[in-house]
């Protein structure tokens, strides 16, 4: 039987999450603070841990750090949709947490869509083998101290993006969901300061999170990283993170310049931003052979149909292989539908992108 540990200082939240997760038939254990969570999680192997951020004795961020160092476990952060919580959640994901859900106190827990989201994520995370988990950049590099200062800010090395009237030799489009933030950061860090193409990223996140995510990526990358905005010109050597709550679309002006557009209509997509929406929109502006599309780890099938469409148009498409994907859902669907030209483990994807010319 699968085992789940719920770590939260709120008795109400522990009760709510226990009632929901119990529907999966999993055995439930609870912890009232981070220290208790670490004690339990290091003494025995859980299949999933849900972790609150603000708790007495030891906060959730410190607990994630200790658990991932001693007994890697799929951790689902419980986060309120605020800018402060978004920043802390980004740090937790860097330390090895896999995903996050909205804190029950900030949403209507009775809504079927919220219950379904919790159940889907807990079920998916329970299938992740511990060997696939990211242990966190800070420990792997041997660094200590606050994760927020683990890298120097490399502003002096940042390249100046260049406009070229929309005439791009290539454009790189990347999609990811559960397990993706850490991988996206590795890609952004690996791209050289003279990278010649624009890069657009759809990572499934709400609006408050994409702004924090783009800011963190910008600190780590030698290329400028920005959150997308309508009418923002697409420039070579710049990385664009799709804004949460809207789809990332492209448009070409009379001058020939390519700009980004925010599409607020969900267009029957479950996720917003959607990888499918970005890929399909790109085909209206770019030739297929200009597109390099990459689909990484994630629950569900977003991006699969888009990968098929751009591949048929002549794009070079790469899907993350099962051996490294935290959740082999989105790239699996793309591969099985015939949308992947090359399937690669993540380290080889990073190398392939870093040497593009």
Residues 6 or more apart from 237 whose CB is under 8 A from it? Answer: 159, 160, 161, 162, 193, 194, 195, 196, 197, 198, 223, 224
Determine which one of 9, 99, 218, 302 is catalytic. 302
**Do strands 48-52 and 75-79 pair parallel, antiparallel, or not at all (unpaired)?**
parallel
For the chain, the straight-line distance linking the first and the last C-alpha, in angstroms and rounded, comes to: 50
- Does 274 qualify as catalytic in the annotation? no
Alpha helices in 141-197 (DSSP H): 180-190
**Nearest alpha carbon to residue 73 among 31, 130, 122:** 130
Residue 196 burial by CB count (10 A; 0-12/13-18/19+): exposed, middle or buried?
middle
Beta-carbon count within 10 A of 217 CB: 25
Does residue 62 carry a catalytic annotation?
no
Helix (H, G, I), strand (E, B) or coil at 28: strand
Q: Is the peptide bond before 79 cis (omega within 30 degrees of 0)?
A: no
CA dist 25 and 13 (Å) reads 19
CB 59 within 8 A of CB 33: no
Tell the residue number behind the tokens 């699968």, with chain if given. 2
- Residue 117 host element (H or E): helix 112-125
Helix (H, G, I), strand (E, B) or coil at 299: coil
Neighbour count for residue 104 (Cβ, 10 Å) = 22
d(CA 301, CA 330): 4
The number of residues in the chain equals: 357
- DSSP lists the bridge partners of residue 49 as 5, 75
Compute how many other C-beta atoms are within 10 angstroms of the C-beta atom of residue 40.
17
Q: Is 204 a catalytic residue?
A: yes
Nearest to 246 by CA among 202, 306, 280, 283: 202
Q: State the catalytic residue, choosing from 79, 124, 126, 177.
A: 177
Catalytic residue among 65, 85, 124, 204: 204
Catalytically active residues, by annotation: 177, 204, 302
């Amino acid at each position: 039987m699968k085992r789940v540990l719920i770590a939260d200082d709120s008795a109400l939240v522990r009760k709510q999450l226990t009632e929901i997760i119990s529907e999966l038939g999993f055995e439930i254990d609870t912890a009232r603070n981070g220290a208790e969570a670490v004690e339990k999680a290091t003494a025995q192997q859980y299949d999933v841990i849900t972790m609150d951020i603000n708790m007495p004795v030891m906060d959730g961020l410190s607990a994630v750090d200790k658990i991932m160092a001693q007994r890697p476990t799929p951790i689902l952060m419980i986060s309120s949709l605020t800018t402060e919580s978004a920043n802390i959640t980004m740090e937790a994901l860097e330390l090895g947490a896999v995903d996050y859900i909205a804190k029950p106190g900030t949403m209507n827990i009775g809504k079927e869509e919220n219950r379904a989201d919790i159940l889907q994520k807990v079920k998916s995370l329970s299938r992740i083998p511990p060997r696939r988990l990211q242990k966190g950049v800070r420990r792997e590099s041997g660094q200590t101290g606050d994760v927020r200062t683990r890298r120097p800010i490399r502003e002096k090395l940042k390249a100046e993006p260049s406009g070229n009237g929309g005439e791009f030799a290539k454009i790189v489009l990347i999609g990811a969901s559960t397990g993706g933030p850490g991988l996206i950061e590795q890609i952004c860090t690996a791209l050289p300061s003279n990278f010649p193409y624009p890069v657009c990223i759809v990572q499934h996140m709400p609006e408050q999170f994409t702004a924090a995510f783009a800011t963190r990526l910008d600190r780590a990358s030698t290329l400028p990283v920005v959150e997308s905005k309508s009418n923002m010109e697409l420039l070579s050597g710049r990385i664009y993170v799709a804004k949460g709550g809207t789809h990332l679309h492209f448009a070409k002006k009379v001058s020939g310049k390519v700009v980004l557009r925010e599409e607020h209509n969900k267009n029957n997509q479950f996720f917003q931003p959607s990888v499918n929406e970005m890929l399909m929109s790109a085909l209206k502006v770019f030739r297929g052979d200009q597109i390099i599309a990459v689909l990484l780890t994630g629950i569900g099938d977003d991006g699969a149909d888009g990968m098929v469409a751009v591949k048929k148009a002549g794009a070079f498409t790469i899907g993350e292989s099962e051996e490294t994907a935290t959740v082999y859902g989105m790239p699996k669907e793309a591969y099985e539908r015939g949308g992947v030209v090359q399937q690669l483990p993540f380290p080889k994807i990073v190398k392939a992108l870093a040497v593009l010319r």
